[in-house]
Structure 1
Amino acid sequence: MTNLADRISSVSPTASRPTAARSTASRPTAYQPAGAPTDTSGEHIDTSWLGEYLLGTWADARRESRTLMKDSAFHRDDSLGLDAQRTRVLGQLKLLVESGSVLKAFPSALGGADDHGANIASFEEIVTADPSLQIKSGVQWGLFGAAVLHLGTQRHHEKFLPGIMSLEVPGAFAMTETGHGSDVAAIGTTATYDEATQGFVIDTPFRAAWKDYLGNAALHGIAAVVFAQLITKGVNHGVHAFYVPIRDENAFLPGIGGEDDGLKGGLNGIDNGRLHFTGVRVPRENLLNRYGDVAADGSYSSDIESPGRRFFTMIGTLVQGRVSLDGASVVASKLALFIAITYASQRRQFTAADPTKEEVILDYQRHQRRLLPKLATTYAMSFAHEKLLAVFDGVFSGARATDADREDLETLAAALKSLSTWNTLEILQEAREACGGAGFLAENRLTQLRADLDIYVTFEGDNTVLLQLVAKRLLTDYSRKFTEADVATVAGYVAGQVSDAAVNRSGLRKLAQNVADFGSTARSVGFVRDAESQRQLLTDRVETMIASLAGRLRTAKKASPIEAAAIFNTNQNELIEAAIAHAELLQWEAFTEALDAISDPKTAEVTTWLRDLFGFGLIEKNLAWYLINGRLSAQRAAAITDYIDDRLLPRLRPHALDLVTAFGFEPEHVRAAVASGAERERQDEAASYFRARREAGQEPIAEKSLKKTR
């Protein structure tokens, strides 16, 4: 809601970004694909500056990681079977340790850099080499190691972190259970304190309580951070984390068993597996006790009195997984669109105006409709991720780490991770289809990336569940404004979000207010084309949806638990839709804010068109809502689609290659034959062949041309 949006907007990631005058001499030259001319007018966007800008606040960390990922030693080898893939990725983790690139978030006293933003930025770029490598390293240092770092105290850091950082102790993050994934608070594993031995006894009392889908669990892990219900003196104090050794050099330790998850739909370089515990004893000191501790006599203590708040505080310290998945999805989307748009700028198919020359497929409107809106979405995702990363670094560095800041981070991460992982799957699939049969070949990477990133929508919280968290936060913010508001007050608030002048200009209006359209597409769209009108349309949708939900859910406060659950369930779909609308607004706002720092006129103009394509695309996608709720007239709604097709796509088409070149990938990152220039060479060869035959009079006469002369 606006409270959250206003707070996030105040955290700017652009302060240390480049200005137009900043030198980019040290930046590697971006891969310049051979394709159609970028701009027939002769004006070009500043791809070098834009590429630097897109790298964001932690550009140095991204460049360092990209340089490392150029080494073929880190690349996926498609020829390997399951076992060999797992062995290769484990070896690659050791190379990452040697490089020191994965230790940025750890304490400087232990060899780290205490740099949380740079750590995430560096980690996200590993996806260009192999998503399996990225996720397995995330398990080791971003989950297993981070749990010890953020949930443990000094004694745990000194005892456990050196082995984790060096990979001497590969480990698993044992939170998810077969029967409980996103509902961590309800997990079945128990850790019962035994005063006689001053230790905890860990059990998985039934099959659904087995820890499942755990990276490093099937083969390589020798320890795990295990999440369990802490029970002492007959009282369950909720979920806590414990450091538990699980293997020696030969086999599982006594009381511990497990299974291999086996072949998966993707990410097969990771040895995912299951763990179960029967009477496994660990010392009292192995409780990661930053937020709750048990004394030798079994008494429990915590600085956070509320069990619910304690649980969410503990889980909130592990939010970096969602942040990094958001960023990795952005990188994968950029890579997919670089491949697809490069190919579309070279591939020719069908003759149109010139019977002797086939058309570049990106010149077809439908192909532009397939790829350019995805490009606009990817830019929006990229700028929004920079905002998220700034909020994350502020919390974890301690610079902005109040309870409100942490709540903002959790909500923002849940919203953006959900949208970006879903969007990326759509982008990868569209890119694959846009490359035709070539896109289905493994050598062009799109199918494997699609398979590997599929699970991202479930990692670190199922997207649908995460969006419920976002919606509840929106309702909480709303209720703070309107605790006692009646329907009339709410309606007045929503209608009053824009001035009368803006209402008339944009097509927004109060109940029963009419919109005057003037018959011209350009004139109609002109009323909603500027940034403020786009903002009003997008914001009004969120505000209205939340206001409506708040009214319908108000009766749940006085209902019985069963009745309240039924009311909530009846409105669950609307809750999710409101959360999605809110997340899309955050992306649009981030894109719009990013435009302010672009001083080169042509670059600013083109990226503004791209922002408009993103904004109008969101409005077009939800035209039914805008029409039903009287926010747009039918003619103005139709004009939006016409404006996209007739104005924005043709304007952006000449700059498509420049916009993906700005992503800054080099050939070693792309590794796709169709984006290597080979397609352009094939097309040139074919064109030369037919031209030479025509000039030599060797080309046979087409049958249909004979029929025309009869």
Structure 2
Amino acid sequence: MTDVVDRSAILGAGTPTAQPAVDTAALGEQLLGKWAAIRHQARDLAGRPELHKTEGLTHTEHRSRVTGQLQFLVDNGAVHRAFPAHLGGADNHGGNIAGFEELVVADPSLQIKAGVQWGLFGSAVMHLGTETHHTNWLPGIMNLDIPGCFAMTETGHGSDVASIATTATYNNAAGEFVLNTPFRAAWKDYIGNAAIDGLAAVVFAQLITNGVNHGVHAFYVELRDPKTGAFRPGVGGEDDGIKGGLNGIDNGRLHFTNVRVPRTNLLNRYGDVAADGTYTSPIASPGRRFFTMLGTLVQGRVSLDGAAVAASKVALTAAIRYATERRQFNASSHTEEEVLLDYQRHQKRLFTRLAGTYAASFAHEQLLQKFDDVFSGAHDTDEDRQDLETLAAALKPLSTWHALDTLQECREACGGAGFLAENRFASLRADLDVYATFEGDNTVLLQLVAKRLLADYAKEFRNVDFGVLARYVVGQATGAAIHRTGLRQVAQFMADTGSVQRAAIALRDEEGQRALLTDRVQTMVAGMGAALKGSNKLSQEQGAALFNQHQNELIDAAQAHAELLQWEAFTDALADVEDPGTKKVLTWLRDLFGLSLIEKNLSWYLMNGRLSMQRGRTVGDYINRLLVKIRPHALDLVAAFGYGDEHIRAAIATGAEKERQDEARAYFRASRASGRSPMDEKVLIARAAGQRRAGARHPA
């Protein structure tokens, strides 16, 4: 990566030379995480021109290019890591996600289409099917002989999978399931690969046998004739058309009319139907069975979390490089214009998002480790799977929203140049827009997290009276947060000792930030627990109305919890940094993240008496001081992301702006030195005014 900035110019005259230094190489390896080698391989591949998005293509041209790129991935061994070793895979679940999410820097359409083929379609066959299914179909899925779809979402039901209306009714006499979409809202919609390429699909439908609906199950269904490309009898569909982004993917709609599917095409790991129609399952509870089946497909959320972080890193690298070169307004000099990144507001808009990206990156590595622990079998209990589901549901909304916010802010921070297609901000933002919706709508996911928080809260405080609940605060008696589940458990039964109030005095300290951030989560959850107490004794209608009355507060509490997880992950990562200079700079960045969260929610802290008005006023001052400290290290912090020019691919991040600015400054310096440059009218006016004042003081 080329360093295009004169760092002595950044520090400026009079700046102390004893600055901490960032070990970018070591920090870069830490950011790459456990699967660093695989990320390096994936980035090498993502840097290849063959995989890059070509701006300006029609959606049909873009689709064709991306489809061809899938074969390129197969030929380069980039897609088989998670599949069974005996079929040519590597049984490496965490490494597979780590490599897959790096494809977003090449083209988000490629990342998502690859995700449909191997991360959803192939993964569903692998995790929901059994050995016969693996043998029959996984080799063709892996080598792309069977392009496929993941047909879950319906036009009328997106996040509410349990209520999908497509049915698969078992016919005892024929030994077949019959699939039907009974009305238009039951069509499978927004399905990747459905419009053109998909030859088969894993279709989710209500399994009905012997007059009993056993809930949602998955079926392997052939969609098209591989020779002609025509739909099989009873299968129909249409193209979703042009979208707001990701137009390299052929999303479409599918519908089924009396489509006959062999009994053995039921992916029967968690539920099976015998030839006589008898249903059996190793999981007796229908609800638990449903969530277990869906839980096997959590990797989509995990990978979107990581891909969103990667996109944020790319955007910040381009914007911060540009901001160290672009000059605008001569605020502090008559002759020299200011570098954009020397303006306080520019620092705040980029550095706060840089801090958030580091926090999200470290949190993602913890999520990825949790995912690998579950799917490798190292830690695979029901509780582990629930924790993984909740953690993914907490982090994916934050990282995808953060990516959209970061891309927009970086675009604006780069002015008109940021809007040019050659600098990718607008394109990346358009492509990532739907990340906030698919694999679980962000708001719905946070509601899931809130319900888990309430459930854990109810268990923890089951035998405590309301007076104690109203008074409890975060305890630090153990000296560290306790990992009881995938959630942070830091509440402690204790009377109010004023620990949070004391922590507010030390806003800049780690424990002060921890106490304030944690207290907010615990207090919000306690408030919801009290508000919803006894709702299980109400009628269904009354219970739903009460829950809806507090839905906004529940989602706010879930988001606060997810932010705490990110702050904790950042803090955990600091403990692994050995270089003193790097640790100091990263600590400033972590503090900026924590204080920015407190500033964002300052009204809550003031209204709930956690901060005084006087103390609240200091938060902004602390942030501004951190911006100044971080400024000399901004380039090192984005260099540690490890993305080269072949990944960034933004014209404004190549050093071209520095060349233009240097040329302009040299021109004006030479012009002034020659004595032939025209006099500025303002200088002439000022000189005349000075002469008049002198004449008034000394009349002839």
TM over 0.5: yes
Change (3 A) 1:667 1:691: same
**Residue from 685, 691, 703 that aligns with 2:663:** 685
Q: Equivalents in 1 of 2:474, 2:665: separation in Å?
A: 61
Q: Equivalents in 1 of 2:50, 2:79: separation in Å?
A: 16
| 1:100 matches 2:77 | yes
Q: Equivalents in 2 of 1:66, 1:554: separation in Å?
A: 51
Q: What letter matches 1:695 in structure 2?
A: A
Query: 1:515: Cα distance to partner?
Result: 10
| 1:708 matches 2:686 | yes
Aligned residue number for residue 36 of structure 2? 59
RMSD, matched Cα: 1.8
Q: Equivalents in 2 of 1:396, 1:443: separation in Å?
A: 40
**Residue from 82, 107, 112 that aligns with 2:89:** 112
Q: What letter matches 2:362 in structure 1?
A: F
Aligned residue number for residue 370 of structure 2? 391
Point out which structure has higher relative CO (alpha carbons under 8 A, 6+ apart).
1
Q: Is the 8 A contact 2:82 2:90 kept in 1?
A: yes
Q: What letter matches 2:35 in structure 1?
A: W
Q: SS in structure 2 opposite 1:359?
A: coil
Q: What are the superposed Cα offsets for residues 119-162 of structure 1, whole Å, 9 maximum, x if unpaired?
A: 00000100110000000000000000000000000000000101
Aligned residue number for residue 490 of structure 1? 469
Q: Is the 8 A contact 1:36 1:345 kept in 2?
A: no
Q: SS in structure 1 opposite 2:534?
A: helix
Tell me which moved more, 625-634 or 312-321: 625-634
Query: 1:491: Cα distance to partner?
Result: 2.5
Aligned residue number for residue 312 of structure 2? 333
Q: Which runs of 5+ in 2 are unaligned?
A: 481-493, 689-700
Q: SS in structure 2 opposite 1:447?
A: helix
Q: What are the superposed Cα offsets for residues 335-394 of structure 1, whole Å, 9 maximum, x if unpaired?
A: 000010000000000002221110000000000011000000000000000000000000
Change (3 A) 1:408 1:514: closer
Q: SS in structure 1 opposite 2:282?
A: coil
Change (3 A) 1:352 1:218: same
**Residue from 460, 463, 466 that aligns with 2:445:** 466
Write out aligned runs for 1:163-562 (5 A): 163-248=140-225, 249-250=227-228, 251-492=230-471, 494-495=472-473, 497-498=475-476, 527-562=506-541
Q: SS in structure 1 opposite 2:231?
A: coil
Query: 1:262: Cα distance to partner?
Result: 0.4
Q: Equivalents in 1 of 2:420, 2:479: separation in Å?
A: 54
Q: Equivalents in 1 of 2:123, 2:499: separation in Å?
A: 56
Q: SS in structure 1 opposite 2:440?
A: coil
Q: Equivalents in 1 of 2:617, 2:495: separation in Å?
A: 21
Aligned residue number for residue 136 of structure 2? 159
Q: What letter matches 1:605 in structure 2?
A: K
Q: Equivalents in 1 of 2:629, 2:391: separation in Å?
A: 33
Query: 1:482: Cα distance to partner?
Result: 1.3
Aligned residue number for residue 5 of structure 2? 34
Q: Is the 8 A contact 1:31 1:661 kept in 2?
A: no
Q: Is the 8 A contact 2:179 2:258 kept in 1?
A: yes
Q: Equivalents in 2 of 1:516, 1:656: separation in Å?
A: 33
Tell me which moved more, 38-47 or 564-573: 38-47
Q: Equivalents in 1 of 2:122, 2:211: separation in Å?
A: 31
Q: Equivalents in 2 of 1:448, 1:300: separation in Å?
A: 49
Q: Is the 8 A contact 1:418 1:466 kept in 2?
A: yes
Query: 1:555: Cα distance to partner?
Result: 2.4
Identical-residue share of aligned pairs (%) = 64
Query: 1:529: Cα distance to partner?
Result: 1.5
Q: What are the superposed Cα offsets for residues 54-109 of structure 1, whole Å, 9 maximum, x if unpaired?
A: 11110001000001111100000113111110000000000000011111000010
Q: Equivalents in 2 of 1:572, 1:336: separation in Å?
A: 33
Q: SS in structure 1 opposite 2:352?
A: helix
**Residue from 573, 594, 607 that aligns with 2:586:** 607
**Residue from 36, 61, 65 that aligns with 1:84:** 61
- TM-score normalised by L of structure 1: 0.92
Q: What letter matches 1:202 in structure 2?
A: L
Aligned residue number for residue 695 of structure 2? none
Q: Equivalents in 2 of 1:244, 1:648: separation in Å?
A: 57
Q: What letter matches 1:491 in structure 2?
A: A
Aligned residue number for residue 667 of structure 1? 645
Q: What letter matches 1:265 in structure 2?
A: G
Query: 1:496: Cα distance to partner?
Result: 5.5
Q: SS in structure 1 opposite 2:196?
A: coil
Q: Is the 8 A contact 2:101 2:111 kept in 1?
A: yes
Q: What letter matches 1:159 in structure 2?
A: N
Query: 1:495: Cα distance to partner?
Result: 2.6
Change (3 A) 1:343 1:496: closer
Q: Is the 8 A contact 1:598 1:604 kept in 2?
A: yes
- TM-score normalised by L of structure 2: 0.93
**Residue from 654, 665, 675 that aligns with 1:697:** 675
Q: Equivalents in 1 of 2:149, 2:501: separation in Å?
A: 62
Q: Is the 8 A contact 1:525 1:640 kept in 2?
A: no
Q: What are the superposed Cα offsets for residues 522-544 of structure 1, whole Å, 9 maximum, x if unpaired?
A: xx976222111110001100110
Q: SS in structure 2 opposite 1:259?
A: strand
Query: 1:315: Cα distance to partner?
Result: 0.1
Q: How many residues align?
A: 667
Q: Is the 8 A contact 2:501 2:610 kept in 1?
A: no
Which one has the largest radius of gyration?
2
Q: SS in structure 1 opposite 2:50?
A: helix
